[in-house]
Chain A
Amino acid sequence: MPESTTKTASATRELTFAQAVNEALAEEMRRDKRVCILGEDVAEAGTPFKVLSGLVQEFGVERVIDTPISEAGFTGVGVGAAMTGMRPVVDIMFGDFLTLTMDQMVNQAAKVHYMSGGKWKVPMVLRTTLGASRRSAAQHSQSLHAWFSHVPGLKVVMPSTPWDAKGLLKSAIRDENPVVFFEDKMMYKLKGPVPAEEYTIPFGVADVKREGEDITLVATSSMVQVALEAAELLEAVGISAEVIDPRTMWPLDEKALIESAKKTSRVMVIDEGYERYGVTAEIASVIAEGAFFDLEAPVKRLGAMHVPIPFSPPLEDVTVPTGPGVFAAAKKLCGKS
């Protein structure tokens, strides 16, 4: 089976992001009897976002398991089941509820392999969501991926297209380690090509979503769409922007990011998590260190404003990066006002 890191495939179909996730789960569940899904309203309801529709019909309630509202409890069950031979995919409906799983993920899942001297392992996936803009207010809109990226022992995946979502989720399920997989709620209906044949995408390999010469826009998850929109606007004013998506926060493809920075000499990092102490800080620092002598300007970061996400639409809209916002900041970075 090909490990596809490129965007070429013999045949593709248009799928939504949600369908791509669903297909990855279905294929891995067919392939491996140890894979099961645990979460709130994952079975008959197929989650509130309907991402898992149809899975319980094919795999039954023994493998697509509705849980009580007990995030700490069923995430812990996932950890223990993974240690003892299963391949659980734990579903945390809103990324905001990750706070309830923190001990299980950070003190247990992340540590078990190392603490046991490599004797136990935790091959589990925690799938969850991130992203604002749904008018859901401060407890249903956060992007908390930086927390997990900070912890040794965890891998963190943030796909930006249906193609990447499917290939990366299949790799996550096959990985021998705990993987936290973030899906932007606003992207579930996004359509894109997905190979007809089976494929996986390895972790730690960034993907250039658009080639350019004058500035590099490093973007994660749905911010890739925002960066692509900004790149269009930049093109109209004669600035050629490269958009690169690291795809996994850890492992991080430092080399590809540094290469792109060296090529264009200007870099902006865009992410929906908080800017302060966020993944933009880490990526900017990796680039600043690795490409220092080739940079024409300091690396610029753009993340969520440092406020809880407000409910009121006009307020919420200014808290997260937008295409025009990225365009304006990138233009300035390129010395054009």
Chain B
Amino acid sequence: MSTVANQTGAEAPVKKEKLLEMYRRMQMIRQFEEQVNELYTRALMPGLAHLYIGEEAVAVGICEALNVDDYITSTHRGHGHCVAKGASPDRMFAELLGKEAGYCKGKGGSMHIADPATGNLGANAIVAGSAGIATGAAFSAKHAGKGQVAVCFFGEGALGQGVVYEVMNLAALWKLPVIYVCENNLYTEYTHFSETLAGDLLQRGTAFGVPSEAVDGQDVMAVNNVAKRMIARARAGEGPSFLVCNTYRYTGHHVGDINREYYRSKQEEQEWKTSRDPIKLLTKWLTEQGHASTEELSGIAQEVAAEMKAAVEFAIASPYPAIDKVAQDVYA
């Protein structure tokens, strides 16, 4: 992790408190998703969910650099963004189970969690469906003049959709404070991205004059550093950026995607898990740099485990919405 140390050294040092908060959020995402998988296998969760395990450093590295009133838009694989932006797991689990106490009163489910209190404009089940929304939020942020920014999270699969390029062009023309964050986890469903995307990913941004960078998405400090730079640029009125985070999803496209060997090998999965795990890498760095002891970190992990357990219990015990709520909220 020498690159991290170098990059960290080049920036203002991050306070210990913040470092531990990033560690905690990454643990929260990991353990949240493990519980989701558990709920699925125990047939307690209706439908399917797309897990973010393996990609935690992306959401956390970026959201740590955001303020609570900055906006994000998210995807079908959205639990990580939601947690990283500050949502609480109990109401998220309640949403996943279709309960009244959920963030969307049970109407949205896993793919649609939205939370105005943390600036979360919503997850989206349409690939690239939120590209316009994030850019629109940046448009109003510019209008409001309070220095807010918008982050648009999407998978590399979304680069197949024309709307992404339409809004990047607009954002560049109008210098909108938006950061397009492409989480390249190598696969769009069951197909390697090299089979569906021609050319160089970064040049998609540079073609519009949008500063574009790639970063190791397993390295939370590296992600955090580049995010800070791009966000500062957006706040200063200099316009959009494009960030490609190279990462990996450990599990299936969704919880039901168990047999994956026809599109990727077990060995490949194992390599990422053992040598490129974002939580292990951060643990190593924090301890080596003397920011935290192993005991301190495992204490945090245990606190998170207790929190997740309680959150799941809360969600299971919560009631479903009353049937007459079905017609509520169609119109504002």
Contacts and interface: CB of A to CB of B under 8 A. Distances in A.
Interface of A: 40-41, 44-45, 48, 66-73, 96-97, 100, 134-140, 305-308, 310-315, 318-319
Contact of A311 (B47, B189, B195, B197): B47
A69 B161 contact: yes
B323 A318 contact: yes
Contacts of B74: none
Interface string B39-72: 0000000111000000000000000000000000
Contacts of B99: 312
B174 interface: no
B126 A315 contact: no
Given A140-B111, A311-B104, A315-B325, 19 more contacts: A40-B188, A44-B190, A45-B262, A67-B160, A69-B157, A72-B162, A135-B46, A135-B47, A136-B48, A137-B107, A139-B129, A311-B47, A311-B98, A312-B46, A312-B109, A315-B107, A315-B320, A315-B321, A315-B323
Nearest to A140: B125
Contact of A48 (B105, B106, B110, B189): B189
The 8 A-B pairs at the shortest CB distance, nearest first, are namely: A311-B109, A135-B47, A312-B98, A68-B160, A312-B106, A135-B46, A139-B125, A69-B160
B112 interface: yes
B112 A138 contact: yes
Contacts of A67: 160, 196
B47 A134 contact: yes
Given A135-B46, A137-B109, A139-B125, A315 B326 contact: yes
A40 B189 contact: yes
B247 to A, nearest CB: 18
Interface in B286-332: 320-321, 323, 325-327, 330
Nearest to B256: A48
B317 to A, nearest CB: 16
Given A45-B189, A307-B326, A307-B327, A137 B162 contact: no
Chain B interface helix/strand/loop/mixed = loop
Nearest to B188: A69
Nearest to A94: B125
Contacts of B109: 135-137, 311-312
A70 B321 CA distance: 37
Nearest to B158: A69
Contacts, number: 127
Interface residues of B, number: 42
Interface string B102-136: 00111111111000000000001111110000000
A305 B327 contact: yes
30 contacts: A66-B196, A67-B160, A67-B196, A68-B159, A68-B188, A69-B128, A69-B160, A69-B196, A72-B161, A72-B162, A73-B160, A100-B126, A136-B48, A136-B109, A136-B125, A137-B112, A137-B125, A138-B112, A139-B126, A306-B330, A307-B330, A311-B46, A311-B47, A311-B104, A311-B107, A311-B110, A312-B106, A314-B98, A315-B106, A318-B323
Contacts of A319: 326
Nearest to B253: A48
Interface string B63-91: 00000000000000000000000000000
Contact of A137 (B47, B262, B321): B47
Contact of A68 (B111, B125, B196): B196
Contacts of B196: 66-69
A68 B158 CA distance: 9
A169 to B, nearest CB: 24
A42 to B, nearest CB: 10
A41 B320 contact: no
A96 B128 CA distance: 14
A308 B46 contact: no
Contact of B107 (A69, A135, A306, A312): A312
Given A312-B99, A315-B107, A136 B47 contact: yes
A313 B46 contact: yes
Contact of B190 (A41, A135, A308): A41
B125 to A, nearest CB: 4
A135 B111 CA distance: 11
Contacts of B157: 68-69
Contacts of A70: 160-162
Contact of B127 (A45, A66, A69, A72): A69
Contacts of A313: 46, 98, 320
Interface in B248-290: 262-263
